[in-house]
Amino acid sequence: MYRGVRARLAPWLLAGFGLAFTGAAVVWHLGVETQRIGQLGGPALALALDGLLPLVLVYGSYRLVSSSTPGEQIWTVFVWSVVGSLAVGTVIGLSVFIRMIEGRTIAEPVFVTLLAMETGAVTGLIAGTLAVRARQDASRATRTASTLSFVNDLFRHDIANGLVVIDGRATIIRRNADSETVQTAADAIHEQVTELDSLVDNAGSVVETLGSDPAFEPTDIVGIAEAVIRRIEQTHPIAIELRAPDSAMAYTNEAARPVLRNLIENAIEHGTPAAELSAEGTATDGAVLQDEAQRAETAQSTGDGHDHPSVFVAIRETDDIVEIHVVDDGPGIPEGQRDRIFDPRAGDTHGGGLHLVETLVTSFGGDIYLADTAGKTDLGLTNPGLDGAHFVVELPRA
Q: What is the mean pLDDT of each run of 10 residues along the chain (398 residues)?
A: 82 94 92 86 89 93 90 93 94 86 80 91 95 89 75 74 85 84 85 76 72 83 91 78 92 89 86 47 40 45 49 90 90 81 63 80 91 55 65 93
In the prediction, which pLDDT does 290 show?
A: 42
Residues 6+ apart with CB under 8 A from 141: none
Within 10 angstroms of residue 397's Cβ, the number of other Cβ atoms is 17
| Nearest-angstrom CA–CA distance, 159 and 196 | 9
In the prediction, which pLDDT does 141 show?
A: 80
Q: Which amino acid is at 211?
A: G
Instruction: Kindly state which CATH superfamily the domain 215-273+308-397 is placed in.
Output: Histidine kinase-like ATPase, C-terminal domain (3.30.565.10)
| Nearest-angstrom CA–CA distance, 146 and 140 | 10
Domain residue ranges of the chain, discontinuous segments joined by +:
1-213, 215-273+308-397
The residue length of the chain stands at 398
